[in-house]
């Protein structure tokens, strides 16, 4: 099949159904990738600090006392599922499905994002109750520098979703709004990638080497 | 319109495959951790490799990064950032690990 010229950008895109918005979105999307990658470097620094701090527990509570793998497992499944639903929202947008469908998938994503945050905050509170507070040791400082940073990103993603919902109600599905939705989807998928790094390095790495 | 419906179906299948693959890899990681404990380095190595595999699956199926010509720019950007990351993380761990050994802290 011959590919139409408007499909030049194969990543997450709006497609030929929204030709004018599609073209404008391409450049901005690449710019957003640059932002995401610089954010990735920031996360990378926090990962590096965590790796060097794993043993610096100063006699305080360590990974084996503090990490609750069941809760981490639930958070992982929730975030992964939300990555799927944000993708489905993108497809609903791209293929001109009824607006209710777009709102539905973004809504499910928001609910999943918020439940992820509730579980994560509950974990932090449990850790604090066992004496696992940031100022206790270098290990805990590094942990609280990294994992809540990801949580903060998820929280801003949730806020972003709410703002988009309000804008959709006020202005309808404009080109600008569609372009913002594409960037939100990229951001959200990116957060799931970081989370894979967090479970592998922070949680399992901490349990292995801590 | 038929062609678009077809494309839609195909793209949706991509997301579902990516989700299924990531789900399987996640389950495998937690199952390994549950069965064999997380104490040994061999187990951790396999967990790390499964994590890497999941990153690739999500990049390809969710973020649509592949080796097609038109997504090369994104791929270049990601590869360059990965290089920067490896230098930063590798360098930090190397230098601080070396320092710890020299100061007899037995950290790394």
Which CATH superfamily groups domain A5-209?
Answer: Cytochrome c oxidase, subunit III, four-helix bundle (1.20.120.80)
Is residue B6 located within the same domain as residue B55?
Answer: yes
Q: How far is B75 from chain A (nearest CA, A)?
A: 10
Task: Point out the residue among A34, A52, A95 whose CB comes nearest to the CB of B92.
Answer: A52
B59 plus B24 within the same structural domain: yes
Reported ipTM exceeds the 0.95 cut: no
Residue B36 binned pLDDT confidence (cut-offs 50, 70, 90): confident
Whether residue A10 has pLDDT greater than 70:
no
- For the segment A35-45, the average pLDDT, to the nearest whole number, is 94
Q: Is the model's pLDDT at A90 over the cut of 80?
A: yes
Q: Across the A/B interface, how many CB contacts are shorter than 8 Å?
A: 133
Percent of chain A with pLDDT strictly greater than 70:
94
Question: Is residue B66 pLDDT above 80, yes or no?
Answer: no
Which range of residues forms the domain containing residue B28? 1-64
Task: Look over chain A and give the mean of its residue pLDDT values, rounded to a whole number.
Answer: 91
Asked if B41's CB is within 8 angstroms of A69's CB, the reply is: no
Q: Residue B103 has which token pair?
A: 């100061």
Are the beta carbons of A193 and B59 separated by less than 8 Å? yes
Query: pLDDT band for position A132 (50/70/90)?
Result: very high
Task: Tell me, yes or no, whether B60 and B77 share the same domain.
Answer: no
Residues of B in contact with A196 (CB under 8 A): 51, 54-55, 58
Q: Which residues of A are less than 8 Å from B43 in CB distance? A: 208
Tally of domains within chain B: 2
**DSSP three-state, residue A10:** coil
User: Could you give the angle at the alpha carbon of A135 between the alpha carbons of A133 and A139, nearest 5°?
Assistant: 80
- The pLDDT confidence band at residue B42, using thresholds 50, 70 and 90, is confident
Q: Which residues contact A65 (CB under 8 A, 6 or more apart)?
A: A130, A132
Q: What is the domain partition of chain A in residue ranges?
A: 5-209
Query: How would residue B108 be classed by pLDDT, with cut points 50, 70 and 90?
Result: very low
B59 and B6 in a common domain: yes
What is the tens place of the pLDDT at every residue in B1-15? 678 888 899 999 999
- Contact list in B for residue A80 (CB cut-off 8 A) is 19, 22-23, 26
pLDDT at B32 over 60: yes
Predicted confidence (pLDDT) at residue A11 exceeds the cutoff of 80: no
| Structure token pair of residue A53 | 């701090």
Residues B58 and B73 in one domain: no
Q: Do A76 and B11 touch (CB under 8 A)?
A: no
Taking CA–CA distances from A197, the nearest residue in chain B reads B51
Could you give the dihedral angle defined by the CA atoms of residues A163, B14, A78 and B53, in that order, rounded to the nearest 10 degrees? -120
Q: Residue B3's pLDDT is what?
A: 84
Tell me the CA end-to-end span of chain B in Å, nearest whole number: 60
Q: What is the pLDDT of residue A3?
A: 42
Task: Please judge whether A186 and B84 are an interchain contact, meaning their C-beta atoms are less than 8 angstroms apart.
Answer: no
8-state DSSP, B39 = -
What is the predicted pLDDT for the residue at A24? 73
Q: Cβ contact (<8 Å) for A91 and B38?
A: no
Q: CA of B2, closest CA in chain A: separation in Å? A: 12
Residues of B in contact with A95 (CB under 8 A): 4, 7-8
**At residue A6, does pLDDT exceed 70?**
no
pLDDT of residue A154: 98
**Min Cα separation B93/chain A (Å):** 6
Inform me whether the pLDDT recorded for B107 exceeds 60.
Answer: no
Indicate whether B1 and B48 sit together in one domain.
yes
Are B79 and B95 within one domain? Answer: yes
The pLDDT-based confidence of B40 (bands split at 50, 70, 90) is: confident
B59 with B27, same domain? yes
What confidence tens digit (pLDDT) does each residue in A47-87 have? Answer: 999 999 998 888 989 999 999 999 999 999 999 999 999 99
């Amino acid at each position: 099949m011959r590919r139409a010229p408007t499909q030049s950008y194969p990543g997450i895109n709006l497609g030929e159904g929204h030709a004018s918005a599609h073209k404008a979105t391409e450049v901005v999307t690449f710019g957003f990738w640059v932002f995401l990658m610089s954010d990735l470097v920031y996360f990378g620094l926090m990962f590096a600090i965590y790796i060097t701090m794993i043993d610096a527990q100063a006699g305080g509570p360590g990974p084996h006392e503090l990490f609750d793998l069941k809760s981490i497992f639930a958070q992982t499944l929730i975030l992964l599922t939300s990555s799927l639903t944000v993708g489905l929202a993108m497809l609903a947008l791209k293929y001109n499905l009824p607006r209710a469908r777009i709102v539905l998938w973004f809504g499910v994503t928001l609910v999943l994002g918020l439940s992820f945050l509730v579980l994560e905050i509950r974990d932090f509170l449990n850790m604090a109750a066992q004496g696992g507070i940031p100022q206790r040791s270098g290990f805990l400082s590094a942990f609280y520098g990294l994992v809540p940073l990801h949580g903060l990103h998820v929280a801003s993603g949730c806020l972003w979703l709410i703002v988009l919902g309000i804008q959709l109600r006020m202005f309808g599905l404009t080109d600008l709004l569609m372009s913002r939705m594409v960037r939100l989807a990229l951001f959200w998928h990116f957060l799931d990638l970081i989370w894979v790094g967090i479970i592998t390095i922070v949680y399992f790495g901490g349990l292995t080497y801590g | 319109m038929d062609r678009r419906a077809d494309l839609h179906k195909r793209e949706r299948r991509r997301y579902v495959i990516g989700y299924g693959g990531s789900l399987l890899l996640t389950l495998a990681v937690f199952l390994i951790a549950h069965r064999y404990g997380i104490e040994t380095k061999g187990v951790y190595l396999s967990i790390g490799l499964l994590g890497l595999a999941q990153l690739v699956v999500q990049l390809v199926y969710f973020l649509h990064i592949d080796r097609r010509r038109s997504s090369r720019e994104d791929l270049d950007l990601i590869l360059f950032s990965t290089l920067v990351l490896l230098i930063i993380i590798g360098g930090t761990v190397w230098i601080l690990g070396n320092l710890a050994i020299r100061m007899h802290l037995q950290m790394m």
